[in-house]
Amino acid sequence: MRADDIKALDTTTLDGLEITLDLHTRERVPVDHYTAFSWSVSRHHMFEACKRRYYLNYYGSRRVIDAKDRLISAVWWLKQVTSIRTWIGSVIHKAAQEAVRAVVEGEKLPDEKVAERANDLFRAGLTASQRGTKVEGQWLALLGHVYPERGFALDLDAAAALVDDLAHTFLDSEAYALIRENPDHVREVDEPFQSFLLDSGSRIGRTRVFAIPDVLLHDGEQITVIDWKTGDVTEPGIHKQAGVYRLYAHRAYGLPEEAIRVQISDLGNYGETVDPPGGTPPLAEAGEFIRGSIGQMVELMEDVTYNTVSIRSFPLTADRSQCLRCGFQRACWRHEDGDE
């Protein structure tokens, strides 16, 4: 982790940072692949939870190289911060992705290799975060290392044991068994940048919507989308995510909604396959949800052509309990808040 970059925030105040960020995010620069507005369920959840975190994540930390500003660089580094539980989820998803792809290619990995891969990647991430280096080409900064006074939400030995348990649960899961039985039905395995264009109904017009299924199977008549979950499968957001997956599959493969089902593989509960909480929304409901969310985001833009915004439209959250597990807490001067 580039601790020196984050220390640049010690040279300013919250007001000073806000002035710098406001100039940066209101500058009218032609958008490119990285700065053009797009939508995803994760973006929606962040927007709903904390407007300032949304601003810092999607606007304050963009164009960091062009900005040539130490404060903007510090915000970019804080964007790389993640919790130990999120890292565990990423590790299991990566191990699952590799295992499923091997099955599809006719080279099923031995179970012990899949579990070993997950355990090794988890440990490599811990080391990379502590040393401030990359893990498999990506920067990783764990919350407990960046904010040691906060500590880790989960004891590291317990976290390692959880990774091993989740990896073995994946191997025994109903969804993985389905994949092994029908490898020729697998069409997508966590493919990057899967998306579709949607008429947003707002002043921004057609918007790219990202939806990346963990696994998508197509038997010629029906599509099954599998979503690996390592946490609480009753979270309301999963319902909305399922609708977006269904809409993506409909757009990509042309099947009617009744031929598209979304299943949750509950790795935190013996690998059972369950329906999304409240079922999978119909296509019309999913589309309405996305358009409504885009509309709220666009409403806070200054110039939709350049995707510019002012920090004044994105206040700090009043719910300071959120800040305790947010990577941006240093950029909001909430890093010295006491624990709950």
Q: Are residues 202 and 261 in the same domain?
A: yes
Distance CA 55, CA 314 (A): 6
Distance CA 143, CA 123 (A): 15
pLDDT tens string 196-252: 999 999 999 999 999 999 999 999 999 999 999 999 999 999 999 999 999 999 999
Q: Are residues 221 and 325 in the same domain?
A: no
| Domain housing 121 | 84-132+155-171
**Angular region, 199: left φ>0, alpha ψ -120 to 50, beta rest:** beta
Q: Are residues 15 and 62 in the same domain?
A: yes
Task: Give the chain's domain count.
Answer: 3
Query: Of 122, 143, 171, which residue is a domain's last?
Result: 171
Q: What angle, 0 to 180 degrees and rounded to 10, lies between the N-to-C axes of helices 283-299 and 236-253?
A: 110
Residue 148 lies in a domain: no
Decide: 44 and 59 in contact? Cβ < 8 Å: no
What is the pLDDT, as a whole number, of residue 340? 40
Render 18-73 in DSSP notation, one character per residue: HHHHHHHHHS-----TTTS-EE-HHHHHHHHH-HHHHHIIIIITTTHHHH--HHHH
Query: Of 107, 141, 171, which residue is a domain's last?
Result: 171
Using DSSP bridges, classify how beta strands 272-274 and 260-266 pair: parallel, antiparallel or unpaired: antiparallel
Tokens of 221: 């008549």
The SS3 of residue 187 is strand
Neighbours of 27 (CB within 10 A): 12
**Angular region, 152: left φ>0, alpha ψ -120 to 50, beta rest:** beta
Q: Are residues 92 and 28 in the same domain?
A: no
Q: Are residues 255 and 319 in the same domain?
A: no
Residue 142 lies in a domain: no
Q: Which residues contact 81 (CB under 8 A, 6 or more apart)?
A: 141, 142, 143, 146, 327, 328
Distance CA 140, CA 128 (A): 7
pLDDT tens string 22-73: 999 999 999 999 999 999 999 999 999 999 999 999 999 999 998 899 999 9
Residue 301 lies in a domain: no
Q: Are residues 165 and 261 in the same domain?
A: no
Residue 75 has pLDDT above 90, yes or no: yes
Tokens of 260: 């598209």
Distance CA 15, CA 20 (A): 9
What is the pLDDT, as a whole number, of residue 336? 79
Q: Are residues 191 and 288 in the same domain?
A: yes
Residue 282 lies in a domain: yes
Residue 337 lies in a domain: no
Lowest mean pLDDT across 5-19, 65-79, 219-233, 325-339? 325-339
Q: Are residues 165 and 231 in the same domain?
A: no
Q: Are residues 67 and 102 in the same domain?
A: no
pLDDT tens string 133-187: 999 999 999 999 999 999 999 999 999 999 999 999 999 999 999 999 999 999 9
Residue 338 lies in a domain: no
Residue 207 lies in a domain: yes
Distance CA 60, CA 9 (A): 14
Using DSSP bridges, classify how beta strands 206-210 and 38-39 pair: parallel, antiparallel or unpaired: parallel
Q: Which residues contact 64 (CB under 8 A, 6 or more apart)?
A: 72, 73, 75, 76
* pTM for the whole structure: 0.94
Q: Are residues 105 and 12 in the same domain?
A: no
Q: Are residues 52 and 120 in the same domain?
A: no
What is the pLDDT, as a whole number, of residue 43? 98
Residue 61 lies in a domain: yes
Q: Are residues 106 and 66 in the same domain?
A: no
First-last CA distance in the chain? 27
Q: Which residues contact 113 (CB under 8 A, 6 or more apart)?
A: none
Decide: 52 and 317 in contact? Cβ < 8 Å: yes
pLDDT tens string 297-315: 999 999 999 999 999 999 9
